[in-house]
Amino acid sequence: MPAAFSPRVCVIGAGPAGMSCALWLHNLGLEATLVDTEKSPGGAMLLNFLNNNWVLGQRGLSGLEMAARFTEHVESLAIPLLLECRPTRLARDAHGQFQLSLETPQGISSVEADAIVLATGTRFRGREILIGLPGFGQCDPGRLRYGPHCFTRLSMLAGKRLLVIGGGDNALENAALALDAGASVTVVARNQFRAQARFIERLQAAGHCALHADARLTALQPSPGGLLASLEGAAGQWQLEVDRVHLLAGYAPNTAFLDGILAAEIAPPLKDERGYLCGDALGRTSTPGLYVAGDVGNPAFPNVLSALAQGAQVAKTIEFDLNQTRPR
């Protein structure tokens, strides 16, 4: 009688894609281990401070609350969850087994696996975008907000002047919420606005709001009344004094760590020009045994639902692939 078939899979990243993948792997009879560098599971959901009403059956929950529910589900199944663990090396032996070395709070550890899932997500682009601007180093950091943190303490904007940098849904929704809080708002986008039409139309119809497409920030300096922003666009150059600046300029993939950990026998998985991992329709990367799930694979419309679905799909793909090598 052949030995029991129970492959081990290591999922790097404990956001919605990673936790969904681990859940499905577990339910498919595979041994899943979740690894994450953070203190708590949840990934980008931990920075979603607003209610997320886009997930069926999960009404009125913030990203933090939804992450807690997902975590409870994973923990209830005793799926190993290794937190505050930084991958330092990924090697592969002659039998195809992966060996992932980890730097943990307790020291160096390792995980063996038949397959690896990369579900490391993205990070919001922040001060690195502004750091080269003239005057930026002298600005009061308390007047600057980046990414999801722009959605906190909005009530403090009543009667204030706000500059929002970005042209997507997050930027224009933030501008709309700031208007609701009583701020006067200017929104600047490097290209054309790509947000939902409802946000654009609402802001265009509102008082105390100006939208500038194809414009950019060229300098940011302290001023007696707050911050002095120098701007450049189709209409020329102008300056604007504001009380606060919100930068909502998109995301970057968490893939740089791979460049320093892959052993010589593992070919680096293909990335696109922005550093996102390239996978096929089922999550297979160009490197056999390595799979990608969630936002790190640059889905067309990244969100919690697509991450959950991709995690499940990758688990099913791994189960199928490993079954092909199962001892008969």
3-state secondary structure of 22: helix
Instruction: Compute the distance between CA of residue 295 and CA of residue 55 in angstroms, rounded to an integer.
Output: 16
Residue 3 has pLDDT above 60, yes or no: no
Residue 236 pLDDT > 70, yes or no?
A: yes
Taking alpha carbons only, the member of 117, 81, 75 closest to residue 98 is: 117
Mean pLDDT of 124-135: 95
What lies within 8 Å, CB to CB, of 85 at 6+ separation is 35, 36, 37, 102, 103, 104, 109
User: For residue 2, what pLDDT is reported?
Assistant: 42
SS3 at position 77: coil
For 87-116, write each residue's pLDDT tens digit: 999 999 998 899 999 999 999 999 999 999
Higher pLDDT, 84 or 1: 84
Provide the pLDDT for residue 176: 97
Residue 241 has pLDDT above 50, yes or no: yes
Q: 230 and 147 in contact (C-beta within 8 Å)?
A: no
- Environment class of residue 296 by beta-carbon count within 10 Å: exposed (0-12), middle (13-18) or buried (19+)? buried
Using only the alpha carbons of the chain, give its radius of gyration. Answer: 23
Residue 219 is predicted with a pLDDT of 98
Distance CA 169, CA 151 (A): 13
Say how far apart CA 24 and CA 22 lie, in whole Å: 5
Confidence bin at 325 (pLDDT 50/70/90)? confident
- Percent of residues, the chain, with pLDDT higher than 70: 98
Full set of structural domains in the chain with CATH: 8-123+251-324 (3.50.50.60), 126-247 (3.50.50.60)
Average pLDDT over residues 180-188: 97
